[in-house]
Structure 1
């Protein structure tokens, strides 16, 4: 079975029978009043039109190229192919290119007849370098005025628009074939305010120590900035710290190892600035445009406008304790022992959450190929005594399996979150430049408490299993109806993910089989808590009812808000609010 049409458009790693040359065009639909204009359509702006735009923005117009293009000298501009191959999996190298995505499969495009436009780093496949799903033109935004000019231009010409920061996008939402890109990567302004008061707030409202981050600021930059002020903020983790701190991460919710202590990213936002589809720059907070503020906090990125800055409250940069463990079955009954380990970890999770721990556990092969259970957690502002007491239930169980398990553990104090983050980042392995897809589901606390063994049995067969203790604690204390975030976060304890991947050139039937397995795994995972939901930023692209899965009961409210601030539906992303009004390619309205 082939992926659904939407999946075929999005899950872009397929190897076709024929690759199209650079800039060859097969229009998905004739662009009329009901369709967006994409490159190759007769409605595409002229050179004169683009020349006028170029005079309105601060930087030369972008002409994004697929990152592998230097390895195709006969059809592409010259470049250093050896350097490209060496840096292929470097997330910073990818983030600095307007045409690169962190997941390489989203740089390619598969047509309805299974032909592929792509630019593969593996040149031995003998497939010409095509533009794929890389946008053909756009702006390098450096300020709000640049964004406003771009939005007005796109509206005037009815263009298919994508908004991109750093390319950390596990659903391909910041790129699209034949599109016009608003690249916010270089919007790097950082402002610290010791007494920030939201615009329009009454004078009686107490100010907070806050940091305002431009849309292109990455977490490494944000962490360095707040650490210099002896503060900390809730943020993401990734190799190189290249995830955007004021883009899709927070607009989808934004989880963190600090979330059990301080809440999710959206729980810490004080204010947004955003450019809407009519080119107006708005401030959104509890006092100005509160409905837009509701939507931007978890209602999905690339949907309501172009966010140009986010203001977060910060917190004292207190010490923390790191807990790292690894348990690998070494006896003959490895599957049974692994089942016992995972069951006991599930039983321990509610207590770890109550104690304040946040972090991630994995079921994956170790360096020798043996599958084991490992984890990395942090206890913010905790004592070593509390750390030992709260981890002992699980560690004691593992110790009792000493004859069947190779087990290591450590509890290490750090002076600050920044010190821990720096140490952890140095150990993170990059998956940038690879091809893959995932599935995920939020598991409620009561399911884990009452059905630990069944949860473990369901999770264990999933490949690339990641279990994030990012909920509970402060996350559970927020009224779910105060923002657009999926309400399932407020009753969840774990964010569970599984993943699959493939190499360039993998045949269509093999890829189809991988996505069939994703569907089967999602059916099993969803059965644990059918009324829960999934995290918009890290979820399956073959969800049968994505809007319900990602936004729950807030989806109707979010759509009404979108109609107010984006009445022309300029901003539409796969499986986002409003996507159900368009065809699978998000080009023509239904």
Structure 2
């Protein structure tokens, strides 16, 4: 009888908490009275394969005498290591998303430099989460979250320029340890038996927590290439936000975007179902998951990708530097050089070049630079024939503008190609050891530049980008195979099919920056966003590397696909559990994404 009384009492308390949440029209947060009781969580624990996690900002180890377990020296030495960061559920690759700003302007944060004198707080890091290792873990956590009306965030590595993996008071589902990988010489999508020509070959299936260095190595072991995100330490997740946003890659102009190479997903929806989505079943969900926005339709537990025969690539490297006394505007030779590169971008794209040009307009040493690393699958002879004219132009420009604008010195530091090599060698030797923006406070603005714009008004493009500060990434990951795909074949923004370049810029700030200066930096990001929108009206932006300040997020991130994506979301997420910044359906929620509007 006593046990029955306690059970009834618990149900009454639960009903009261849920009634409060429904009345307030808001999600239940860890700071609210409706937050589940210890008994509730104890019941959930019996359904999980791992103990709960209690995420904390890793820098908390540097705040004695009450510092939690942790090693401050380890924090200081590894702060800028994206692989180390990814292993911590309480850390984002851009730490500004760990902070929380109260309405009175107070910032709660935990800085790695404890000597700055700021207290260490939890910020936007959730206080509790599930270390998901199996789909069943995710199902139990989702059912619990729906029952208790919790705000849910999903995190793998924390590579997120929109802060979607953190939310103050939320319940975290950490998928980082779902590391299953399997390779299939032949692969029949679920539900395709009996369908002619359904069997696929050379498919790699990866779990939700697999990072690109792991996926690459598994593909290389089969002498295959896979379209992925070349990043420092290969630390970006290969089955999460990257593919949810469409997934750009230096290999995309050759083989298509990540969204074009995904052949099957498994996903847990807010109803607790573990579904398999492909062209043969739940094809509408399959369509949406290929670029319709990560963290929106459910929690992906695996993705199966088409792999490709390993190819040889010619690598072109270039770097030119202007030492200038003018720090307020681009120097004349840099402007001429970059304008010429923009002019020939369609030509370079048509001739197989793809990669990552970078324009730096301000530096501590008053240097302005333009540099790139590009790849090409053509023969060395053919590749040189298409890139050498630009190298010749740059050398000629350097020879004739050795002293302009009161002493500016223009130097071509590097211009040349490397004999054909396998992509794996480029990725392992050049990309993985490269620099990372991990550990840096940053917000980003970006835009997809259509081919027609580059052909018709390359001067305007160059002038607009040169007016941004302090740096611009001119990322050549579209065109080629990307442009040959039917725009309506996947949920990704159709603007990708018309674009040749993804441009991105932004603002960074150091730890301890006053709120007024942070606000000013964000205002500059807003200005960059508007300038890029005006440069390419009617285009769009890459959802994973973009601004929170777009004037029309639905059009910018999803284009003409938005209404279809919204219908699919309502079908598979009837509880509206998966709400992320600027994602499909987010317009129905307030700025905090905690309460319906």
1-side partners of 2:567 and 2:589: how far apart?
Answer: 16
| Structure 1 counterpart of 2:336, from 322, 340, 343 | 340
Report the secondary structure of 1:377's partner residue: strand
Number of the residue aligned with 1:455: 461
1-side partners of 2:73 and 2:559: how far apart?
Answer: 47
Report the secondary structure of 1:178's partner residue: coil
1-side partners of 2:366 and 2:46: how far apart?
Answer: 57
Select between 405-414 and 80-89 the one with higher mean Cα deviation.
Answer: 405-414
Select between 42-51 and 519-528 the one with higher mean Cα deviation.
Answer: 519-528
Give the length in aligned residue pairs: 560
Report the secondary structure of 1:346's partner residue: helix
Query: Is the 2:21–2:149 Cα contact (8 Å) retained in structure 1?
Result: no
Number of the residue aligned with 2:574: 567
Select between 196-205 and 446-455 the one with higher mean Cα deviation.
Answer: 196-205
| Structure 2 counterpart of 1:432, from 438, 453, 462 | 438
Query: Is the 2:324–2:331 Cα contact (8 Å) retained in structure 1?
Result: no
1-side partners of 2:107 and 2:522: how far apart?
Answer: 18
Q: Does 1:356 align with 2:352?
A: yes
Which of these two proteins has the greater Rg computed from alpha carbons? 2
Number of the residue aligned with 2:88: 97
Select between 67-76 and 274-283 the one with higher mean Cα deviation.
Answer: 67-76
Number of the residue aligned with 1:181: 172
Q: What TM-score, normalized by structure 2, do the two folds share?
A: 0.91
2-side partners of 1:115 and 1:366: how far apart?
Answer: 31
Q: What's the CA shift for 1:330?
A: 5.5
Q: What TM-score, normalized by structure 1, do the two folds share?
A: 0.93
Cα RMSD (Å) of the superposition?
Answer: 1.5
Number of the residue aligned with 2:51: 60
Q: Does 1:523 align with 2:516?
A: no
Number of the residue aligned with 1:467: 474
Comparing both chains, which one has the higher relative contact order based on Cα–Cα distances under 8 Å and sequence gaps of 6 or more? 1
Number of the residue aligned with 2:411: 406
Query: Is the 2:446–2:547 Cα contact (8 Å) retained in structure 1?
Result: yes
Q: What's the CA shift for 1:366?
A: 7.5
1-side partners of 2:363 and 2:388: how far apart?
Answer: 24
Report the secondary structure of 1:454's partner residue: helix
| Structure 1 counterpart of 2:241, from 230, 239, 248 | 248
Runs of 4+ in 1 over 6 A off after TM superposition: 331-334
Q: What's the CA shift for 1:399?
A: 2.1
Please give the residue correspondences for 1:25-424 in structure 2 after superposition, counting only pairs within 5 Å.
Answer: 31-33=21-23, 34-201=25-192, 202-329=195-322, 335-364=331-360, 369-380=366-377, 382-403=378-399, 404=401, 405-407=410-412, 408-424=414-430
1-side partners of 2:550 and 2:364: how far apart?
Answer: 33
- Gap regions ≥5 residues in structure 1: 1-29
Q: Does 1:553 align with 2:544?
A: no
Q: What's the CA shift for 1:425?
A: 2.4
The alpha-carbon distance between structure 1 residues 175 and 330, as it changes in their structure 2 partners (threshold 3 A), is closer
2-side partners of 1:126 and 1:357: how far apart?
Answer: 49
Query: Is the 2:80–2:437 Cα contact (8 Å) retained in structure 1?
Result: yes
Please give the residue correspondences for 1:457-496 in structure 2 after superposition, counting only pairs within 5 Å.
Answer: 457-463=463-469, 464-496=471-503
Q: What's the CA shift for 1:73?
A: 2.6
The alpha-carbon distance between structure 1 residues 366 and 223, as it changes in their structure 2 partners (threshold 3 A), is farther
Query: Is the 1:300–1:576 Cα contact (8 Å) retained in structure 2?
Result: yes
2-side partners of 1:305 and 1:569: how far apart?
Answer: 10
The alpha-carbon distance between structure 1 residues 426 and 477, as it changes in their structure 2 partners (threshold 3 A), is closer
Select between 190-199 and 426-435 the one with higher mean Cα deviation.
Answer: 426-435
1-side partners of 2:419 and 2:306: how far apart?
Answer: 25
User: In the TM superposition, what whole-angstrom CA distance separates every residue of 1:534-566 from its partner, at most 9, and x where no partner exists?
Assistant: 110000111122121100111111111100000
Query: Is the 1:366–1:372 Cα contact (8 Å) retained in structure 2?
Result: no
Q: What's the CA shift for 1:357?
A: 1.2
2-side partners of 1:237 and 1:500: how far apart?
Answer: 22
1-side partners of 2:59 and 2:130: how far apart?
Answer: 21
Query: Is the 2:530–2:550 Cα contact (8 Å) retained in structure 1?
Result: no
User: In the TM superposition, what whole-angstrom CA distance separates every residue of 1:331-387 from its partner, at most 9, and x where no partner exists?
Assistant: 88961111111111011111111111110111116895410110011113x210111
Number of the residue aligned with 1:26: none
Q: What's the CA shift for 1:32?
A: 3.4
2-side partners of 1:197 and 1:521: how far apart?
Answer: 46
User: In the TM superposition, what whole-angstrom CA distance separates every residue of 1:499-538 from its partner, at most 9, and x where no partner exists?
Assistant: 2100112112212221221222222221121110111000
Number of the residue aligned with 2:7: none
User: In the TM superposition, what whole-angstrom CA distance separates every residue of 1:458-498 from its partner, at most 9, and x where no partner exists?
Assistant: 10121220000010000001111111111100000100001
User: In the TM superposition, what whole-angstrom CA distance separates every residue of 1:394-445 from its partner, at most 9, and x where no partner exists?
Assistant: 2221122132331121211243111110111254112211101110000000
Query: Is the 1:324–1:377 Cα contact (8 Å) retained in structure 2?
Result: yes
Report the secondary structure of 2:442's partner residue: strand
Select between 548-557 and 203-212 the one with higher mean Cα deviation.
Answer: 203-212
Q: Does 1:512 align with 2:506?
A: no
Q: What's the CA shift for 1:31?
A: 3.6
2-side partners of 1:284 and 1:472: how far apart?
Answer: 28
